[in-house]
Structure 1
């Protein structure tokens, strides 16, 4: 292996060269105590993204995939070529405002029991933002009447750790993992296109060491910076129509891989039951309000289409057939 550096920073590019340049400016500004290299894995750029980034940071190692490989495959490609003791997976829509990379390396150097470390996420005004770090977020996959939610919380409890910084998994917007973490696990499961891959990898990483989100580490994360239309999409979510199709498909794949066929089947079964129930609820409501029984069913039809899309992958997921779970639009 060529000369080792402390940290290999790996960023996946999907048409966000401006974000990458701004991100790297903050890396350069706030990283003083450790040596690092920067690897950008490019997912099918249309313009001269490489030229744009290298005009400011010519030392960047630019690796083209030749197609839109998604998040996991692209990061794996970068990690295979990385020289560092640690690999830092960093989103292009993040910014540093303090010496978080230096701190994270120091923390991990002092915690040989830890396989990976992460940082808390904040908004640009430095107010905290919520981010998942526990497998209990799968509670939200179940469409549960609010009075019954407490039973779901009991059935899917939080994991209890003796270390307050330990988590089930670390979001890959800022994920620093030891080289051996990648070498022992093989990295991300390459069946995932986008989302869910860090959750699934976290389950495997957790079997070889602790995963810690350090209280003295923070980053600015403008989530969806590479896909601003997601903000508008999120405004259209309802109690039933709460799922981004790609995100939830990846979540379903994760559920099958981590919790087994029965858990996955029951989750899908409850979606299938809800489709006619949701229609009947609206039809009865229309009748009671003296409206056309079959009018204003757009939310119900939208929900049915979404569940129909997931159902198209049912056997492939259930039988664990090799696949690349990318929804084509």
Structure 2
């Protein structure tokens, strides 16, 4: 029986996936390893490319684009290891970080862990996070209004909701889903990922339940490169890194998943507070961008197209509101 089961969800990213697998199928592993690739109906030659290069990989076909939570859940159900690692296809194992992390983690009392994620240039990426009341950190990407909220938070010295860089062990509330290692005993207690989610925010909600069973941490001494957003951007024809893109279909999925998480983890009250801020951000965006461009001697209407796309996405969130508030099972997929 393998000690570690690595689960990677694939959707039309065979090159990223083969590059990822090449960094830990080196022949030097001292760990009994099981690798499960769950394919979300890529409809390409991903399986042929990957299994030819790595015949030990177990390939699982979902048959439809099931997203992150459902695909990983299927991988977890088929995994046989005592420890499960959810790993993005756009990651690169550095200096055998996966095995070293596993060895330290399995001997610890922690129930879930991550590593320090790096950008391609070696700069640190946010890997661990703290829960902020009501998920108020989701207001930070709002155009103009988010910058004001961030400034206000700095003035009143609100603690940052994340660990920007770590070089040693740091305890956190939730872990970036690009690299999330969890003990099977904790999954048995907390349950699987919530299958209402299609993509984004599902690992935060899951960690909120895992956290009730034990402590989570980041092992900052171990590094893994995460080509942040590359798999999603490549698959969905979007651009930008992180969660500040709120203006296209990917941005709508991010917003919808964030609101779903707020409802599930923090309740109806905080959901309505967040929605009020997003609605308020629409006129703020139009008015502030107009005067901002005038002040900078640019076309005052230059950002109106982006503001209109943001407004349209918020409008879609409003249409989902009754369903989200009901908290009944539903697959929130818009990509």
TM-score (norm: length of structure 2): 0.84
- Judging changes above 3 Å, is the alpha-carbon distance between structure 1 residues 240 and 85 closer, same or farther for their aligned structure 2 residues? closer
Report the CA distance between 1:158 and its aligned residue: 5.4
Structure 1: distance between partners of 2:322 and 2:158: 25
CA contact (8 A) 2:114 2:128 kept: no
Is 1:31–1:101's contact at 8 Å kept on the other side of the alignment?
no
> Which of 197, 203, 209 is equivalent to 2:202?
197
Q: Quick one: structure 1 residues 208 and 308, their matched pair in 2 at CA, closer, same or farther if it must change by over 3 Å? A: same
What residue number does 2:180 align with? 175
**Residue 260 (structure 2) pairs with residue 262 (structure 1):** no
The alignment partner of 1:20 has SS state of: helix
Residues 11-20 or 129-138, more deviating? 129-138
Alpha carbons 1:54, 1:60 under 8 Å: kept:
yes
Q: CA deviation at 1:234?
A: 2.8
Superposed CA RMSD in Å reads 3.4
**Counterpart pick for 1:304 among 311, 323, 328:** 311
- Cα 1:155/1:71, change in 2 over 3 Å: farther
CA separation of 1:103 and 1:275: change in aligned 2, threshold 3 A: same
TM-score by length of 1: 0.85
Structure 2: unaligned runs, 5 residues or longer: 163-167
User: How big is each residue's C-alpha offset from its partner over 1:66-89, in whole Å with a ceiling of 9 and x where there is no partner?
Assistant: 000000100000000101011011
Deviation for aligned residue 1:280: 5.0
1:299 positional shift: 3.5
Once the two structures are superposed, what CA deviation does each residue of 1:19-68 show, in whole Å capped at 9, x if it has no partner? 22221111112762211011111101212321211111112111100000
**Which residue matches 1:15?**
12
- Local SS of the residue matching 1:55: helix
Alignment partner, residue 26 of structure 1:
23
Select 2:108's aligned residue among 100, 108, 111.
111
2:219 alignment partner, one of 214, 228, 235: 214
Contact 1:139 1:152 in 2 (8 A): no
1:12–1:91 contact (8 Å) kept in structure 2: yes
Distance (whole Å) between structure 1 residues aligned to residue 302 and residue 182 of structure 2: 53
Counterparts of 1:167 and 1:300 in 2: how far apart (Å)?
35
State the shift of 1:300 in Å.
3.2
Separation of aligned partners in 1, 2:139 and 2:72: 27
Counterparts of 2:96 and 2:302 in 1: how far apart (Å)?
Answer: 57
Residue aligning to 1:326: 333
Distance 1:240 1:50 in 2: 33
Task: Return the alpha-carbon distance in structure 1 between the equivalents of residues 299 and 16 of structure 2.
Answer: 50
Residues 1:30 and 1:216: Cα distance change in structure 2 (over 3 Å): farther
Aligned-pair CA distance for 1:232:
6.5
